[in-house]
Chain A
Amino acid sequence: MPQSAKRGWNRREFVSASALVAVALGLPAAAVSLTRLESADAPSDRQRLLMEDVSQLVIPRSATAGAGEVGAGDFAILALAHGLDGSRTPLKDQTAYARFTRNDGSIRHVAWLEKELDTRAGGDFLKAPAEARFALLKALDAEAFASRESESPWKAIKGLILTGYYTSEVGGSQELRYEPVPGRFDPDLPLTPDFRAISNDWTAVDFG
């Protein structure tokens, strides 16, 4: 049985349809209501360190470098401020994250994450041991993705960390394969354990 069939995929795969639905209905895939950037979006040094650390926890070093090492944290900070993946869309529940919302109703993800992780760590998250930081983040991640309806800011943060990693040179061309000029199309190949996914499979990037 292929691995994919064993996963509980129904709800998750439904969510994946959003990009296709957006195209079909002429909606912007990254719907944002941004009017202007605010200087308050400039990160502090600590926030940059935190995002680097969190990125590395999401995608750690293996045979290839991890996401923190390749700058995915900084990319996510930029991307969140500019509204990629709909991250400047106003939340439906304006009260839940009131302390961190901008005038346009969107959330300051990085400020929220800093506070949230420190709270969960009962102090300075960055000073907690590696295993503890991983466990805290894993719990936060599990809660955020437990329901489709959840508006947890973590969803967007994690998503843009992954974008930052897999569109970096290391993530895109060392961890995965980058094939700028395939030169052919092979319509049916066995998916063997040594097959690395193609980071620039654009159909998958857009709709997968």
Chain B
Amino acid sequence: MQFDAIVVGSGITGGWAAKELTQAGLKVLMIERGREIVHGEYETEMKTPWEMPFRGRGDAAQYVREYQVQMKNRHFNEFTQGHFVNDKDNPYATAPETDFTWFRSYQLGGRSLTWGRQSYRWSDYDFGANKRDGHGTDWPIRYADLAPWYDKVEEFIGVSGAAEGLPQLPDGKFQPPMALNVVEQHVRKVVADKYGRCVTVGRVANMTEAKPDEGRSACQNRSICARGCSFGAYFSTQSSTLPAAKATGNLTVVTDAIVEAVDYDPRTKRVTGVRYVNTRDGTRGSATARLVFLNAGAFNSVHLLLNSRSEAMPTGLANSSGVLGTQIMDHANTLSTIALFPQFGDRTTFGNRPTGAIIARYRNMDTMDGVGHTRGFSFQGGALQSNWGAGKREAGIGAELKDKLHQPGMWRFVLVAFADCVPRDSNRLTLDKVRTDRFGIPQLHVEFAFGKEEQAALAQAKADAAEMMTAAGGNVIMGLDQPGPGGTAIHEMGGARMGLDPKTSVLNKWSQAHDIPNLFVTDGAQMASSACQNPSLTYMALTARACDAAVKMLREGSI
């Protein structure tokens, strides 16, 4: 098979690469390791709990056997389990002191089907962070380089959100925002008045306005997104980029095929294509192209580069710097506070809003006011009421209990902090020296720990969160300051960072390998720092920008 471009992976960035490259007229092969999932044919989407064998909660016994990691994902349940990997069949290795939960979705659409859909721009506080405090290496780009690409991506995927005029969280091309609920509105006012901080509704790739030309409806406020949405109301490969790419007539999709290596020709110093394993029958295949885009997800793209080592590149493809696999990151996150707001007991809401409230970063911007850390943290959460589950926690049976559970219960405000994760050499991916998967491919080996910077940020976050909740009249009942294991934010990134210097980075400012001009890595692997806001929107903008650059270079004959 001969193509103009091969895109490895069909998730959030793979879909974008396929769309941009096919729309530029290139013949593209998109290759996906998982099974095909067809938009509108989501098996459990319309099921009620009483139609499910375990009422939507799932078979905990099976989960222990087969989904030991994935079961820890808040979106994982009986309705959605088909959109997550079976851990038993898809092992990875960790260093002795490492506890890393790697949440994965191997299927057409990848994690675009299961993502949290929070969509935030990064600012120059983020792109300038490494230069300012000396951790990691400087980004070769700044916000201005990416701003037009953010515009393009937001308009296409559909992001609802409120413009707030914050330099640390730049406004975008938003659809109308979803509403803060009554308790969140109150907290927003108090936090703005007393602290000058911004509580706003989560900017989310769930549309509040339909895109009829693309067959996408506005969000129905079901909040069951990870089952798949036949309304096409949230951004996924299936709802958005795949139909656009297919419409060009230039796209070939191959599913159930794991790319095990990218082939490199040392004479031309170019990659020539990919080799893959058919997961259904174990047979091997290959395809060639003038351009290769890696969009397998941060860790899997790094894995592929490491596994593509050759005589010419014995430590991994495009690894003349020796930094491939290092400086991996994930946001340190924890439950900073829960506060009760009984004074709102006579208010309630209707509908399942598929986003929460956030508090934008406010530390270490123009004043370095972080205690023991030099970066930022932000909060995600919101106010919610209990329902029948509250009955599990308290004494009471009979008519009295039934009567009580007939109505919504106590309001509480929850704030989960996400702290910037400093890039470190010691947090790294390698190929496991012994263990392989069922196809004989070396397992990915993860070595990861948070450090004192993240600990300090979460300690300050806990104190700040309690103070803000108390000021708003909340009764703080608990809070944590220790991060969960790496991976719990599901924002794993880095490992093939972008940088100015080919000696200390893998990719240049166009997400293009310093060593190999026709190789691009445009997923989370390219990130040189982590910021404290969700990264997917930035991956998409970087992908669109890289595609544009690659097509120009191809036309100019420079690659």
Contacts and interface: CB of A to CB of B under 8 A. Distances in A.
A187 B72 contact: no
Interface string A155-172: 100110011101111011
Given A2-B345, A24-B333, A181-B222, A204 B408 contact: yes
Interface in A158-208: 158-159, 162-164, 166-169, 171-173, 175-176, 178-191, 193, 195-208
B352 A203 contact: yes
Interface in B469-527: 475, 477-478, 480, 482, 484-485, 487-488
A182 B60 contact: no
B179 interface: yes
Interface of A: 2-5, 7, 9-10, 12-17, 20-28, 30, 32-35, 37, 57-60, 62, 75, 78-79, 81-86, 88, 134, 137-138, 141-142, 144-146, 155, 158-159, 162-164, 166-169, 171-173, 175-176, 178-191, 193, 195-208
Contact of A84 (B57, B68, B387, B401): B57
Contact of A146 (B348, B351, B395): B395
B222 A180 contact: yes
B180 A204 contact: no
A27 B50 contact: no
B496 to A, nearest CB: 25
A31 B216 CA distance: 39
B402 A62 contact: yes
A182 B74 contact: no
A186 B223 contact: no
Interface string B386-425: 1111111111111101110111111110101000000000
Given A2-B342, A191-B346, A162 B48 contact: no
B306 interface: no
- 7 A-B pairs with the lowest CB-CB distances in the bound complex, closest first: A2-B345, A208-B386, A24-B335, A185-B351, A145-B395, A159-B392, A188-B182
B343 interface: yes
Contacts of B54: 78-79, 82, 84
Contact of A202 (B99, B338, B352, B409): B352
B480 A25 contact: yes
B59 A24 contact: no
Interface residues on B, range: 35 or more
A195 B64 CA distance: 39
Interface string B325-350: 00000000111001010111111111
B220 interface: yes
Contacts of A30: 57, 60, 63, 71
Contact of B397 (A78, A138, A164, A180): A138
A178 B48 CA distance: 9
B385 A208 contact: yes
Interface in B32-62: 46, 48-50, 54-62
Nearest to A166: B388
A168 B72 contact: no
B60 A82 contact: yes
A205 B387 contact: yes
Given A14-B477, A23-B74, A169-B48, 5 more contacts: A3-B345, A25-B485, A28-B68, A190-B348, A196-B406
Nearest to B49: A167
Contacts of A13: 338, 340, 410, 412, 477
Interface of B: 46, 48-50, 54-65, 68, 71-72, 74, 99, 101, 178-182, 184-185, 220-224, 333-335, 338, 340, 342-353, 384-399, 401-403, 405-412, 414, 416, 475, 477-478, 480, 482, 484-485, 487-488
A63 to B, nearest CB: 10
A98 B185 CA distance: 52
Contact of A21 (B223, B398, B406, B480): B480
B220 A181 contact: yes
Contact of B57 (A2, A137, A163, A179): A163
A179 B222 CA distance: 8
Contact of B64 (A34, A185, A199): A34
Contacts of A84: 54, 57-58, 60
Given A58-B397, A208-B390, A5 B409 contact: no
20 contacts: A16-B386, A16-B393, A16-B412, A25-B485, A32-B64, A35-B65, A81-B61, A82-B54, A83-B60, A85-B392, A141-B396, A162-B391, A163-B55, A176-B405, A182-B350, A185-B178, A197-B406, A201-B352, A203-B223, A206-B74
A199 B101 CA distance: 31
Nearest to B68: A28
B87 to A, nearest CB: 12
Nearest to B56: A167
B342 A164 contact: no
A204 B386 CA distance: 5
Contact of A182 (B48, B182, B184, B352): B352
B462 to A, nearest CB: 11
Contacts of B60: 30, 32, 34, 82-84, 86, 88
A170 to B, nearest CB: 9
Contact of B348 (A14, A155, A164, A191): A191
A95 to B, nearest CB: 25
Contacts of B345: 2-5, 191
Contacts of B343: 2, 5
B202 to A, nearest CB: 13
Contacts of B384: 203-204, 207-208
A25 B488 contact: yes
B222 A158 contact: no
A26 B391 CA distance: 25
Given A163-B57, A178-B48, A187 B179 contact: yes
Contacts of B478: 14, 17, 21
Nearest to A191: B348
Contacts of B55: 75, 163-164, 167-168
